[in-house]
Amino acid sequence: MFFNKLKPSVTKEDKDWIDDSFLWFEGQYGRNYLKSVRIIEPTREFFNIEFSGKEEDAHFVLSKCLEYMDIKAVKVDLNFYSEAPIDFEEEGVFITQSEEGNELKDSYPLGTYSEASPNHFLIDLERGQLNDPHSMIATIAHELSHLILLGEGRIQESDEELTDLNCIALGFGIFISNNIFHFNQWQGASHHGWSAKRNGYLPEEVAAYAMALLSCYQNNPLNWTLHLNKTVKKMFDKNVKYLRANPDSLPFKNT
C-alpha cells in the first residue's frame, strides 16, 4: 500500500534558510518575545481608521506599525513620491514584475528606506499605495523591518529576503503574503484586459511555510488564517500538517 508523504511547500534549501533565520530571530529578540508576537490582521482592531486615500492614512499606519513592531526612541519621517525612476539607492520594496495585457510595464519601487542620521530614519512611499491599504501596510512594515535590521545594527548589509521574513516573524505575514501576487481583470464598454504584478522579495510558498513555522512555534489559535488568500491558505495548511506530523523537522526545541 502506498501512502502520500506529507511535504512542505518549499525546497530543502529554502526550508533550511527559513529555519536558520527563525533561530536567528529567536536569538535577536528572545524566545518569550517571539512567542508573544501578535499576528496583525486587516481589521479595525488593529487599524481603526476609515481609509480615504489621503496621506494621513499612511501616517496613521506608520504610527501603528511602529507600535506593533516595538520600535521606540527614534524619529521616522514619511515622505511621498509618484512612480519614481527605478535607480533608487535606498533599500525598499519593488514591483518586480508588472504586466498588462501582453506587455511588460516598467518596474518601480513601492517604498524606500534610508538613514538620515543616528536614530533618524526616512521612509518614502509611492503615492499609489494610498489607494491600496493592504499593500501600504505591507510596504511600511517592510521599510520598518529595514530599520530593525539595518538601523539597529543587527545586520551590516541589506538582505531583502531576510527583511520580508523578519516582517513575518514580527506578525505581518498576512500582509506580506497576500501582497506578493496581484491579478486583476477589467472590462469596458468595448474592450477588456488584465494586469498582474508581483511585489516584494519572497515567493508565496516561502511566506506560507514561514507563517506555518511561526504558528507551530507559538502554538496559538489559527483564527487569523481566514484573512489569507486562497493560494497562500492552501500552502499554509499543507505546511502546518507537515510540521505537526514531523515535529523533529522543527528547528526549535521544547516548544
| pLDDT class of 180 with cuts at 50, 70, 90 | confident
Tell me the residue ranges of DSSP E strands in 28-145: 75-81, 91-100, 103-104, 109-117, 120-126
Residue 42 pLDDT class (50, 70, 90 cuts): very high
Judge contact between 146 and 91, C-beta under 8 A: yes
**How many CB atoms lie under 10 A from the CB of residue 198?**
18
Rounded to whole angstroms, how far apart are CA atoms 193 and 231?
Answer: 22
Q: How far apart are CA 200 and CA 20, in angstroms?
A: 21
Residue 6 CA to residue 167 CA, distance in Å, equals 27
pLDDT of residue 201: 84
If you average pLDDT over residues 210-231, what whole number do you get? 95
What pLDDT, on the 0 to 100 scale, is given for residue 181? 47
Write out pLDDT tens, residues 81-122: 986 444 444 555 544 434 444 343 445 688 999 999 999 999
Q: Give me 228's grid cell.
A: 489569507
pLDDT, residue 108, reads 65
Distances (CA, A) of 81 to 14, 60, 108, 115: 35, 18, 11, 18
State the average pLDDT for the chain: 85
CA distances for 75 relative to 57, 72, 93, 121, 153, angstroms: 18, 9, 21, 6, 16
DSSP code for 148:
I
pTM score: 0.85
Residue showing cell 531576510? 162
> Phi/psi at 229 (nearest 5 deg)?
-70, 165
At residue 156, the 3 state secondary structure works out as: coil
For residues 213 and 239, the answer to whether their CB atoms sit within 8 Å is yes
pLDDT at site 29: 97
Strand partners, 78: 123
Cell numbers describing residue 113: 528606506
Lowest mean pLDDT among 5-19, 43-57, 85-99, 202-216: 85-99
The string of pLDDT tens digits covering residues 113-154 is 999 999 999 999 999 999 999 999 999 999 999 999 999 999
Is a pLDDT exceeding 60 seen at residue 190? no
pLDDT above 90 covers a percentage of the chain that reads 76
